[in-house]
Amino acid sequence: MSTFKAPKGTYDLIPPESADFLAVREALSAPLRRAGYGYTETPGFEQVELFARGVGESTDIVTKEMYTLTTKGGDELALRPEGTASVLRAALEASLHKSGNLPVKLWYSGSYYRYERPQKGRYRHFSQVGAEAIGAEDPALDAELIILAHDAYRSLGLRGFRILLNSLGDKECRPVYRAALQEFLRRLDLDEDTRRRIDINPLRVLDDKRESVQRQLTDAPMMRDHLCEGCKSYHEQVREQLTAADVQYEDDPRLVRGLDYYTRTTFEFVHDGLGSQSAVGGGGRYDGLSEMLGGPPLPSVGWALGVDRTVLALRAEGVELQLPSSTDVFAVPIGEEARRALFRVVTALRREGVAADFAYGGKGMKNAMKSANRSGARYALLAGERDLAESVAQLKDLQSGEQTAVPLDRVVSEVRAKLA
Ligand code: AMP
């Protein structure tokens, strides 16, 4: 142990568990890559103002959870707490929306930072895979994203997740609903903070987890009953597309992503094996965000899936990912001359695409074989003085124990043939 530890609320990804994380990232993004989404990477930090506007001044993320810093040059920056604002900023900056090819479909993967109270499934540094489809209003696009996330989770073997679905209306019907909700909320017995929230962001009050608040909300007006004809029919089409794709969902009229520019489709993926931090992913339509960032009107939809919680969900379900072994061949030389000869073979194997490793550090035969077994390799490649005299090495199948002598210059082709 060193004097230092990973900061509070963070953890390291190290082998062997890190292989699962890599596989989850890969699986969550694979359906996107097959659906025309292009890879996007943005800086780990942005101007504070981008998130203040892009996430919302009244959200916990902005008011309490951002890691902010002032640079030596006097810039106010924040470590990114989420991906949408950055990705939309990047798309606008590069004028991707002017290519005449809408929607612009982008996917991303990376680290996010929120100063939250750490607990299982809630960290200060976490990892997301996300997708944004920018510049199109089409129920099939909303459905596409939900289907892709669904298929990604299924491809990992996850079964115990549910999809919650709602519509938040648009700039026509939402303000009417908002006013009705405010009027209702003002009559309740609420603390001062919550009262302030009624003015700034009343929908978020619906999301309050406290029993004392929820108890008073049973008769609250619901967006569902205030949707305009356009929103109703849009939502109906999203639902039809999901059903046609065999994707089951639950209507959840209380699901809000309480920001004013979130519109229409909103959804969350929850997993019941995760305790209180049950959301494994979420997203929705944000038709007003581009304009909030100073861009043109660009109706868009996106999601972000949490890698950490997806890994926890896999563990909760007892799903073992079938990962290919990271080493195919492990070389065990006996003696100096064999070290030189087998090291050359290992290099040749790697250049031909075979995953190979070597017993470094002058280990004795017994320790070297232990390393070979621990590496998960299918084959050990052994050679001693007698083998070298005959220009062969012994290829040992570590599963069956069977061993055959192979001429040194044919090891690569032999191994490739066996692995194929
Ligand atoms: P959000 O932008 O809050 O909807 O986050 C999207 C997804 O990221 C969530 O569904 C979680 O899976 C994941 N996530 C968000 N915050 C955290 C956190 N503090 N720790 C771990 N995962 C998180």
Q: Sheet harboring 356-358: ordered strands across?
A: 356-358, 329-333, 379-383, 392-397, 403-407
Q: What's 289's domain CATH number?
A: 3.30.930.10
351 inside domain: yes
Q: Name the domain count of the chain.
A: 2
Check residue 259 and give its pLDDT.
66
193 inside domain: no
Same domain, residue pair 22 and 61: yes
Same domain, residue pair 270 and 402: no
Which phi and psi angles does 356 have, rounded to 5°? -135, 145
273 inside domain: yes
The pTM of the full predicted model, rounded to 2 decimals, is: 0.93
Q: Ligand 1: which residue has its CA nearest to atom 11?
A: 306
Same domain, residue pair 38 and 150: yes
Structure tokens at 227: 């949707």
All residue ranges of the chain with pLDDT < 70 are 258-260
359 inside domain: yes
Say which DSSP state 43 is in.
-
67 inside domain: yes
| pLDDT digits 0-9 by tens, 31-63 | 999 999 999 999 999 999 999 998 888 788 888
Give the DSSP H or E segment for 185.
helix 174-186
From ligand 1's centre to the CA of 114, what distance in Å? 9
Enumerate residues lining ligand 1, CB below 6 A.
82, 114, 116, 121-123, 126, 128, 279-282, 304, 306, 308-309
Same domain, residue pair 26 and 150: yes
Same domain, residue pair 393 and 298: no
361 inside domain: yes
Q: What is the DSSP string of 271-310?
A: ETTSTT--EEEEEEE-TTHHHHTT-----EEEEEEEHHHH
From ligand 1's centre to the CA of 55, what distance in Å? 14
Same domain, residue pair 280 and 405: no
Same domain, residue pair 273 and 333: no
Same domain, residue pair 36 and 138: yes
From ligand 1's centre to the CA of 106, what distance in Å? 19
Same domain, residue pair 138 and 34: yes
Query: Where a domain ends, among 254, 285, 317?
Result: 317
Query: Where a domain ends, among 317, 352, 384?
Result: 317
1 inside domain: no
From ligand 1's centre to the CA of 180, what distance in Å? 30
Check residue 54 and give its pLDDT.
87
Same domain, residue pair 349 and 292: no
Q: What's 335's domain CATH number?
A: 3.40.50.800
| pLDDT digits 0-9 by tens, 56-90 | 887 888 889 999 999 999 999 999 999 999 999 99
From ligand 1's centre to the CA of 350, what distance in Å? 38
Same domain, residue pair 309 and 344: no
Same domain, residue pair 268 and 359: no
Check residue 258 and give its pLDDT.
57
Which residue segment(s) compose the domain that 105 sits in? 17-159+263-317
Q: Ligand 1: which residue has its CA nearest to atom 4?
A: 282
Query: Where a domain ends, among 255, 288, 317?
Result: 317
222 inside domain: no
